[in-house]
Amino acid sequence: MIPAFRKAILEVEDRNNDKPQEDNVLYQIKCMFGGLMQVEKQYFNPKKFCKAFKDFDGQPIDPLVQKDVDEFFNMFMDRIEGLIKGTPQEKTMNNLF
C-alpha cells in the first residue's frame, strides 16, 4: 500500500508552481518520498517539510513538540487530498485508505 501511495504522490502534477519551493507542501512531500526511494540511508531529514507544512493556525509544525498522531494524520491526509484534487491521482486516497 505505501509504495503505491508514494508512487501516486510522485506522479501528481504540481499546480502550485507559483509558490516558492520552501513553502510548497506537495513539492516537499515529493522530495521526502523521492529521497527515501533514492538514497541508501534509512532516514530523511524532514526539516524543509516541517517548515512548509503549516498547522491550523498557519504556523510551521514543530517536530520537537509532541502532538496527537491522529490529529496530525488527519490534517496530513486532508492536505494531500486538497493538493491532488482535480488531478488524475485524485482518487488515490480513497482507493488506498
- The pLDDT tens digits of the residues spanning 21-79 come to 788 888 888 888 888 777 677 778 889 999 999 988 889 988 888 888 998 888 888 88
One-letter amino acid at 57 equals D
When pLDDT is averaged across residues 89-95 and rounded to a whole number, the result is: 79
pTM: 0.73
Residue 54 has what DSSP assignment?
B
User: Under a CB-based contact definition with an 8 Å cutoff, are residues 75 and 55 in contact?
Assistant: yes
Residue at grid coordinates 527515501: 36
Q: Where are the alpha helices (DSSP H) in 1-97?
A: 2-11, 25-38, 47-52, 69-84, 92-96
User: In 3-state terms, what secondary structure has residue 60?
Assistant: strand
Distance, in Å, from the CA atom of 88 to the CA atom of 53, rounded to the nearest integer, reads 23
